[in-house]
Structure 1
Amino acid sequence: MTSHAHPRSLARVAVDAAALSELYTAPEILRVVNVWDAVSTRVVSELPGTRAIATAGHGIAAAHGYPDGERIPLDLMIAALERIVAATDLPVTADLDGGFADAGETVRRAIAVGVCGANIEDRMRPLRESVDVMEAAVHAGDSEDVRFVLNARTDALLKAGDRPRGEALAEAITRGRAYVGAGAQCVFVPGVLTGDEAGALVAGIGLRKVSVIGLPGALTAAEYEALGVARISYGPMPQNVALTALKRLGTSLLADGVIPDDTEKLNNF
């Protein structure tokens, strides 16, 4: 995979955005294995099934020593995204948390370093305010002649509290439809979804307009695909798995173990 010495041109980002948009609308579900730095990007990019790169905001923050939730300085997040873009030739969609107080400006800065799409959270702000955030992100892309691929996230299920599940699903659909109306390509509804729930979201928001996360207990990608889901991602879980492997290796080495014979050299740039 070729590394780029300079940020991608706006024309190239526009091409990437068109390619990413087609991946969302294709009959096959878009599988993205979330990355958090240049070397994880390189490893995932070289897998035959990878069509696009998606970052995990939690993972990038953790790699720099910050908790999740926009605690990492925006300058540092943008710099990390620039390195990730430079490590791949594939379209890159970024987790931009809640937009870092100014979704439009944050998207413009992401586009400037080569990012062509993003997740932005509604954080269960009032609906009108949330729609404004999503519109600002889309309009920022338009101002750069990039049809920015927004995967608008609603936390209607994650933050449902004691509300009946059906009410939370109904709100996710209401918000999702509003975000699609604001120009979002897709709506990310995190949480472990049953087949019936995923089907209800697709019926309410639109075919290949729903994005899910593959947490323990969730359906397989193929099962979600059959229901008309557009995308499945894995959030911080790939980093968690990698760190679990590091922890186990470290435990073994500190107990006088050896490096396994089947270890690959994956970090050569």
Structure 2
Amino acid sequence: MRYLLILFLSLTTVNSYSQDSTATVLPTKVKGTIISSSTDEPLSDVNIVNLNQVKGVATDENGAFEITAKANDTLHLSYLGYKSLKVRVTNDWLKFGNTEIAMTEMALALEEVTVNQLQLTGYLEVDMKQIPIQTNNQYRISGLPGRSYEGGKTNIATKILGAIFNPADFLYNMFGKKPNEMHKLKKMKEDDEIRNQLAQRFDREMLLVLLQVNKFDLDEIVNQCNYSKDFINTANDLQILDAISECYEEYKVIQRSKERKSGKKKDKA
């Protein structure tokens, strides 16, 4: 009888522990609704990215979204004409479900642009000197072998500096110190929703947030990867992503080659 009592108490304890464990399991997705703070109307097509898991979604016509997340993940919300937000995922949000998030409109100030027209004289020799001459370079489009795009200008000073300054060293300083960000780079390329969002953007905001670099460093990375200023200024965010990704893969090949050569020298010594 005593053995039966011990068995019963053991089963009760296990069952109770199992129920407690099940009760603490939180869902792996959060739901929310994005509205305008000025009109209280839902905002559709708001870009939402989980910066930790590198997953992206967009709100539907009712401003609603659902995204994979866990406690302490950070969601980045961005929408044209509105101030971007970073929202931390909490246990309460995971537990109690849908939450409403208000985004604030942002005033956009257009910078004054001065257009300098060519003052043609009618003399070919004089007028030809006023027309900028560019040397165009072609670059590959990711996923389209044999195709190329983008024409940019280079000059002799850039080529000389490029020969003196080793781009691989610069890329090592940028990429080598940010392994987590480079891992995110790969995940960004695999997420169709993020790629679709980047293909429509030119502000670099999402790239800066995900890669944890500033605008200057991002431009310098692409520049050192032998892309022109014209490309940097006109490419959409997806093209910039693919350019950096391709450059990073080439950098890894160079580094592996250096390591093999260094290993062979040590063996000979």
What TM-score does the superposition give when structure 2 sets the normalisation length?
0.23
Q: Indicate the structure with greater strand content.
A: 2
